[in-house]
Amino acid sequence: MNQEEAMPMSGYEASLAEIQNVIMDWALAAEGFRQRYTGLTELINSLEKNKRIRASVSRERMQRLRILRQHSTDALLTLMLDMSGQRAGRSSQLSKPGQLHSHARMLNELNRAIDAELTTPVTTVAQA
């Protein structure tokens, strides 16, 4: 094996300003996600506790909420493992700007999905 094959190719190097922008995008997305995830969990808990509301909420909506919460939990754990560098088969290294950008996009997509569920009104059934 010659020396060219042994040395990894260095690709595009992001500027400091680009890295700072990506980090800020990621931080904003992560904070927004944390707030929305808390709101989603509170909504699910309140729907499960309140019998009047639970009776009017369709099974499909509760299932969607639970699936969204589980997907969000899985995504968050994956991102945390990715950032820590402790995933199987990876050496401990800091996340690259491309990974942060992907993480921010994923969190923003989850934020939109959670927002759609949180803004859907919950109607109660009047008891006779």
Nearest one of 84, 47, 77, 75 to 62, comparing CA atoms: 47
Contact 3, 81 (CB under 8 A): no
CA-based angle 62:63:67, to the nearest 5?
Answer: 120
Tokens standing for 111? 């934020």
Which residue ranges make up each domain of the chain? 58-85+95-117
Which pLDDT belongs to residue 99? 77
- Cα distance between residue 105 and residue 30, in whole Å: 10
Q: What is the mean pLDDT of the chain?
A: 76
Please, which residues have CB within 8 angstroms of residue 76's CB and are 6 or more apart in sequence?
A: 33, 37
- Cα distance between residue 43 and residue 53, in whole Å: 11
Mean pLDDT of the region 11-32? 81
For the cut 80, the answer to whether the pLDDT of residue 127 exceeds it is no
For the cut 80, the answer to whether the pLDDT of residue 74 exceeds it is yes
Which pLDDT belongs to residue 115? 92
Which pLDDT belongs to residue 38? 92
Mean pLDDT of the region 60-70? 88
